[in-house]
């Protein structure tokens, strides 16, 4: 996951760093797992001297889980959960784990020092070697099964480490064992590992932002905080700095790692980070299901009747937010409409409809719009938030009381609304 750092085997960091941790995880919206939606292709952005590259072999409908730079710093590999490898720039393709019956999912890819091979590791510790990458052992036959999260190679290329979510470290080849992550109160939740330039140390990164340092791995002089849990880290070529990728797609710098960019205001989900000589590639994706095809362009709200979901889309095409809703099957008809009027408090009989934004005038003379779940006279809702995602209304599009306020603020009168089947 700090894959280029591991591919170059050149990390020299760290100490205990306080991330905001699990309590901040809600800052990145979570996609409801029951909703079937197309996979959102990852975005891999280049910062600093990292070249901006197009994939040379495209794998569709599969999510990137890890990236690793080649030694030239001019190209990189990415791997999907199914073990398929995508090459970018001059990085060469040597094979994919997808051709094997791979138990578990791919979680990491690490390049060799020559750039003429790589390893792929699975979530149960299976190791798949390609090109000049030597197979030195795996954990796939270990019982009970372990949750492996990352891999790092030694500087010689004749050894590597596998680390588990619980912070256990397993060395192979010439990799020396130096210790594992241990805590007093909360179990570790390790997400990444990197080896020091000498090979005589390594560092584990916890999702909380804590670093577990062993051997001669260096420590930063100051601590920082970030707003969301850590996902991965990559180091500078000097071994005196590193970049930490947060779950929100933003990067925090340490040591001589310079600030090279920030995620924009559109929500992102951080996947992995890989260093070049004086920069890095950061892989992110949208935390939401893909926007339906043929749903217009520009600043708008898209409502999918079949998915019972809406998307708030910026003029740039970035998705600001997405919510499950409850509407009525087939209503309103598919088409493009515009917000005609708004009422902070509207009524329907004895029910109160919070934050009504009207956009479709039905032949019956009634308006259809977005509003919060209707409230009875005693303030109780007529359906639960858990029931959102299913059609339950007479025509309007309901959502929970927090989401509807976001929609209210996003949709001034005249905002485009695109309804798709």
The per-residue pLDDT for 26 is: 30
Find the radius of gyration of the CA atoms of the chain: 24
CA nearest neighbour of 371 among 390, 348, 387, 389: 348
Tens place of pLDDT per residue across the chain (421 aa): 544 334 333 333 333 333 222 222 233 333 333 334 455 678 888 999 999 987 776 655 567 899 999 988 899 999 999 999 999 999 999 999 988 888 899 999 999 999 999 999 999 999 999 999 999 999 988 876 789 999 999 999 999 999 999 999 999 999 999 999 988 888 899 999 999 989 999 999 999 888 898 999 988 766 666 657 899 999 888 888 889 999 888 898 888 899 998 666 677 888 899 999 999 999 988 888 889 999 999 999 999 999 999 999 999 888 999 999 999 999 999 999 999 999 999 999 999 999 999 999 998 899 999 999 999 999 999 999 999 999 999 999 999 999 999 999 999 999 999 999 9
**DSSP-derived pairing of the beta strands 416-420 and 300-304:** parallel
CB 273 within 8 A of CB 295: no
- Tell me the β-bridge partners of 237: none
Beta partners for residue 345, in sequence order: 354
ω before 144 within 30° of 0 (cis)? yes
Two structure tokens written together for 64? 């990137």
**If we measure between CA atoms, which residue out of 114, 152, 123 comes closest to residue 136?**
152
Q: Looking at residue 62, what is its pLDDT? A: 63
Are 341 and 333 contacting, i.e. CB atoms less than 8 angstroms apart? no
| Residue 19 pLDDT | 29
Q: 34: how many CB neighbours lie within 10 A of its CB?
A: 8
Residue 200's pLDDT is what?
94
Dihedral sign for Cα 226, 227, 230, 235, please.
negative
For residue 230, give both structure tokens: 């850590």
Give the span between the Cα atoms of 392 and 397, in whole angstroms. 9
Kindly list the structural domains of the chain, giving each domain's residue range(s) and its CATH number in brackets, ordered by start: 3-285 (2.130.10.10), 300-420 (2.40.440.10)
Q: Using alpha carbons only, what angle is made at residue 61 by residues 55 and 66, rounded to the nearest 5 degrees?
A: 55
Confidence (pLDDT) at 55: 75
Enter the tokens of residue 50.
């990292």
Report angle CA 214, 182, 10 to the nearest 5 degrees: 30
Structural element, H or E, at residue 3: helix 3-7
Q: Is the peptide bond before 368 cis (omega within 30 degrees of 0)?
A: no
Q: Is 396 helix (H, G, I), strand (E, B) or coil?
A: coil
Give the pair of three-digit tokens for residue 41. Answer: 């292709």
The pLDDT of residue 142 is 81
409 sits in which H/E element? helix 401-410
Of the chain, the end-to-end C-alpha distance in Å amounts to 39
pLDDT at 284: 87
217 with 15: CB under 8 angstroms? Answer: no
Tokens for 73, please give them.
């710093």
For position 245, what pLDDT does the model report? 92
pLDDT for 225 equals 63
Residue 153 vs residues 72, 118, 159: alpha-carbon distances, Å: 17, 10, 6
Cα–Cα distances in angstroms (integers) from residue 115 to residues 90, 96, 335, in the given order: 10, 16, 51
Q: What is the pLDDT of residue 77?
A: 95
Compute the distance between CA of residue 158 and CA of residue 162 in angstroms, rounded to an integer.
14
Q: What is the pLDDT of residue 402?
A: 94
């Amino acid at each position: 996951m700090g894959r280029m750092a591991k591919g170059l085997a050149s990390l020299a960091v760290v100490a205990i760093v306080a991330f905001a941790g699990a309590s901040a995880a809600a800052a990145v919206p979570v996609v409801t797992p029951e909703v079937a939606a197309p996979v959102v292709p990852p975005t891999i952005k280049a910062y600093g001297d990292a070249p901006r590259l197009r994939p040379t072999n495209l794998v569709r409908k599969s999510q990137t889980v890890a990236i690793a730079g080649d030694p030239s710093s001019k190209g990189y590999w990415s791997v999907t959960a199914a073990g398929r490898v995508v090459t970018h720039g001059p990085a060469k393709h040597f094979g994919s784990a997808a051709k094997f019956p791979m138990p578990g999912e791919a979680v990491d890819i690490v390049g060799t020092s020559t750039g003429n091979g790589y390893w792929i590791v699975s979530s149960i510790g299976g190791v798949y070697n390609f090109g000049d990458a030597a197979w030195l052992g795996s954990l796939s036959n270990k019982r009970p099964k372990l949750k492996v999260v990352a891999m790092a190679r030694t500087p010689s290329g004749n050894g590597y480490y596998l680390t588990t979510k619980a912070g256990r470290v397993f060395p192979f080849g010439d990799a020396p064992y130096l210790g594992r992550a241990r805590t007093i109160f909360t179990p570790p939740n390790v997400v990444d590992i990197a080896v020091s330039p000498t090979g005589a140390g390594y560092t584990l990164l916890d999702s909380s932002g804590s670093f577990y340092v062993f051997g001669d791995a260096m420590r930063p002089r100051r601590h920082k905080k970030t707003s969301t849990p850590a996902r991965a880290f990559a180091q500078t070529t000097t071994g005196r700095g590193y970049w930490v990728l947060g779950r929100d797609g933003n990067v925090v710098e340490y040591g001589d790692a310079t600030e090279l960019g920030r995620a924009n205001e559109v929500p992102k989900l951080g996947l992995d980070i890989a260093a070049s000589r004086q920069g890095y590639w950061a892989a992110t994706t949208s935390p939401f299901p893909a926007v339906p095809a043929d749903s217009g362009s520009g600043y708008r709200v898209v409502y999918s009747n079949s998915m019972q979901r809406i998307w708030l889309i910026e003029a740039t095409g970035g998705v600001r937010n997405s919510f499950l809703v409850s509407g009525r099957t087939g209503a309103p008809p598919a088409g493009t409409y515009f917000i005609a009027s708004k009422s902070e408090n509207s009524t329907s009989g004895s029910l109160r409809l919070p934050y009504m934004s009207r956009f479709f005038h039905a032949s019956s003379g009634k308006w259809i719009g977005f509003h919060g779940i209707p409230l009875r006279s005693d303030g109780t809702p007529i359906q639960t938030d858990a029931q959102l995602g299913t059609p339950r209304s007479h025509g309007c599009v309901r959502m929970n009381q927090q989401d509807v306020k976001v929609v209210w603020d996003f949709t001034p009168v005249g905002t485009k609304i695109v309804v798709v089947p």
